[in-house]
Amino acid sequence: MTRSVYVTGIDRGDGRQVVELGVMELLTRQVDRVGVFRPLVHEGPDRLFELLRARYRLAQDPTTVYGMDYQEASVLQAEQGVDELVSTLVDRFHLVARDYDVVLVLGTDYADTQFPDELSLNARLANEFGASVIPVVGGRKQTAESVLAETRNAYRAYDGLGCDVLAMVTNRVARADRNEIAQRLESRLPVPCYVLPDEPALSAPTVSQITHALGAKVLLGDDSGLARDALDFVFGGAMLPNFLNALTPGCMVVTPGDRADLVVGALAAHSAGTPPIAGVLLTLNEQPGDDVLTLAARLAPGTPVLSVPGLSFPTAEQLFSMEGKLNAATPRKAETALGLFERYADTGDLLKRVSAPSSDRLTPMMFEHKLLEQARSDLRRVVLPEGTEARVLHAAEVLLRRGVCDLTLLGPVDQIRKKAADLGIDLGDSQLIDPATSELRDAFAEKYAQFRAHKGVTVELAYDVVSDANYFGTLMVQEGLADGMVSGSVHSTAATIRPAFEIIKTKADADIVSSVFFMCLADKVLVYGDCAVNPDPNAEQLADIAIQSAATAEQFGVEPRIAMLSYSTGTSGTGADVDKVREATELVRQRRPDLKIEGPIQYDAAVEPSVAATKLPGSEVAGQASVLIFPDLNTGNNTYKAVQRSAGAIAVGPVLQGLRKPVNDLSRGALVQDIVNTVAITAIQAQSSSEKATAQ
């Protein structure tokens, strides 16, 4: 069983950080404790480890990550030989390996080192560590024939040195050659070879990186603007009409600081979205006057305007030699990298080949990984009615870069595009629809009038109603133009779910619509229901909530063990509230005898084994409940918020259940990651709804 994976290469410039990040993502899906080891390190900050530590919340002591620096290693090898060097590194590796289920080893980088045969050193270290190897071959600016030859030679080299080669990765190949290379390698290598195309956004420096590299002064711009990728450079010297024709999406405009016309023209073009630019870099130590800067700030709020003292030509030389880097300060690049890896590598097969020991625990990170992976397995379209909200746009970018689902954003299209441009967000192939001007509005008005005819709704009245983004989005779901909807970051819960009650309605096997929260604790995920919809359910409704919640839990990989919560455990209490829970428990047992359920039961007896052993010995639920059903909304809502705030739990939800098609509500305080998770959940619910519809 593989306990470590060694990602290595054959030369510089292979972009293997994409692979190292992708493998780390895979490992953290499978196990809770993943360590990192880099045998040899250069002086200065390790950008990739800082990214891994921030993204995956690694608790590993940074001093244990590194074997030794290159200078120390070079001296040791020269004085005592390579065997002593390898022995020392093996000892330091095992200090890490003993504390973790699996270790990701980051091979040497072939940059400014003194080792005559670095490939052989990596191969020997991998063998001594007992690690399986994933060699990465760089294919940038190479012909297809050259890439094929290098990849085959790299496999032979590592295999010939006795390495257990898990898979090969050929990275940064020309997009036009990618499919041909993949097809030809498939028949020529005995292990899988994943071929990744070159992705300009990964090699493009961010505006912030340009600022630091050039020592530029930031005249205008905010953090979102500085995080934009500079995909191209356009040097301004021509007259304004010709200059505007030269602009490209995501470009950095470089112009002498006295060309106020080009500064204003570029920012005006950005404001109109034709095209959105990364920013403006002024040379010659010249700056526009305050009146021009004030106008610029109004034209394109947040768009960076930088100033450097140098001339345009030397500045251009520096810019063209600059390359973007993955690090903790570039989370958007990390999403792009993971999306690229997950699209072109067979991650399911690779995970099986790694054979990392599965964890019995389901951590919050593992749960989030599973959500994205499950949603990505069968793409669905989710409509987001709040298309001009910044958090929604940031979440949309993550979802698109990771390939989680297809998206439709609702709102005035020009406003969506302008907001996305101001935030430096690329919405890719997202569908943008303005409900007020959409050609669907007439048909939707007819449909809504039919649905609500019993309430006296006319087509004329319906025409006004369906211009509301939540009603329009709900009708898209109802009519099969989208598979699910997520709203609520700026709308109330009522505004989000009322259209679903009126249009989509409940499933045939559901008595009511209810909700659950996925409560992600440090070492497990619990399902809480109902904490958002039903104020005081009766026994029959409570039983329905329990059955629905068990189905939702199972759908998302949580084995349902249901605890029907009360202030009393077993037969120790009496009263109307306890009797309601007791009756609901019996109804669940009658309707679904296959479900594990206990009730009435107190919270501590439901989740704490030592308490359960005293209060309900022998119960197959007490002490290990995973689905906790609260007797009323007052109890449920307060409990989930108390656990969220006091225990530091991540609360994902509310997730609505019981609707014929998925619609989900967001908290108005939802963070970007909350929105990402909720959209992924909605896409998964849509997969299930589609499967059931097909079966029927």
**pLDDT at residue 153, as a whole number:** 93
Q: Under 8 Å CB-to-CB from 409, ≥6 apart: which residues? A: 383, 384, 387, 392, 393, 396, 416, 427, 430, 431, 432, 433
* Average pLDDT of the residues in 141-156: 92
With a pLDDT cut of 70, the percent of the chain lying above it is 96
CA distances (Å), 187 to each of 154, 162, 190, 192, 316, in order? 16, 22, 8, 10, 44
| 420-463 tens-digit pLDDT | 888 878 888 899 999 999 999 999 999 999 888 888 888 889 89
**pLDDT at residue 630, as a whole number:** 94
pLDDT category, 393, cuts 50, 70, 90? very high
Q: What is the mean pLDDT of the chain?
A: 88
| 108-132 tens-digit pLDDT | 877 666 667 788 889 999 988 888 9
**pLDDT at residue 478, as a whole number:** 93
SS3 377: coil
Element containing residue 147 per DSSP (H, E): helix 144-160
606 touches 598 (CB < 8 A): yes
| 261-278 tens-digit pLDDT | 899 999 988 888 788 899
Q: Which residue has the tokens 């959409």?
A: 438
Q: How many Cβ atoms from other residues are within 10 Å of residue 619's Cβ?
A: 21
DSSP 561-603: EEEEE-SS-TTS--SHHHHHHHHHHHHHHHH-TTSEEEEEE-H
pTM over 0.85: no
Q: Using CA atoms, how far apart are residues 665 and 656, in angstroms rounded to an integer?
A: 8
121: its two tokens: 């050193």
405: its two tokens: 């689902």
* Average pLDDT of the residues in 294-304: 89
**pLDDT at residue 359, as a whole number:** 55
**pLDDT at residue 484, as a whole number:** 95
Q: Which residue has the higher pLDDT, 157 or 652?
A: 157
**pLDDT at residue 113, as a whole number:** 62
pLDDT category, 316, cuts 50, 70, 90? confident
Cα-to-chain-centroid distance, residue 201 = 17
Q: Which residue has the higher pLDDT, 20 or 311?
A: 20
Could you give phi then psi for residue 614, rounded to 5 degrees?
-85, -45
**pLDDT at residue 197, as a whole number:** 94
Q: Catalogue all structural domains in the chain, each as residue range(s) with its CATH number.
A: 4-199 (3.40.50.300), 205-320 (3.40.1390.20), 375-503 (3.40.50.10950), 514-658 (3.40.50.10750)
| CB-neighbour burial class of residue 429 (10 A; exposed 0-12, middle 13-18, buried 19+) | exposed
* Average pLDDT of the residues in 405-424: 89
| 552-610 tens-digit pLDDT | 999 888 889 999 999 888 776 677 888 899 999 999 999 999 999 988 998 999 998 98
Q: Is the pLDDT of residue 618 over 80?
A: yes
Q: Using CA atoms, how far apart are residues 76 and 74, in angstroms rounded to an integer?
A: 5
Nearest CA to 510 out of 659, 694, 656, 692 is that of 659
| 180-222 tens-digit pLDDT | 999 998 888 899 999 999 988 888 899 999 999 999 999 998 8
Element containing residue 214 per DSSP (H, E): helix 207-214
pLDDT category, 494, cuts 50, 70, 90? confident
**pLDDT at residue 78, as a whole number:** 82
pLDDT category, 516, cuts 50, 70, 90? very high
Q: How many Cβ atoms from other residues are within 10 Å of residue 152's Cβ?
A: 17
Q: Which residue has the higher pLDDT, 544 or 329?
A: 544
DSSP 603-658: HHHHH-HHHHHHHSTT-SSTT--SEEE-SSHHHHHHHHHHHHHHS--EEEEEEEES
Q: Using CA atoms, how far apart are residues 20 and 623, in angstroms rounded to an integer?
A: 39
* Omega within 30 of 0 (cis) for the link into 617: no
pLDDT category, 479, cuts 50, 70, 90? very high
User: Hey, which bits of 402-559 come out as E strands?
Assistant: 406-410, 431-433, 484-487, 514-520, 525-529
Q: Is the pLDDT of residue 6 over 90?
A: yes
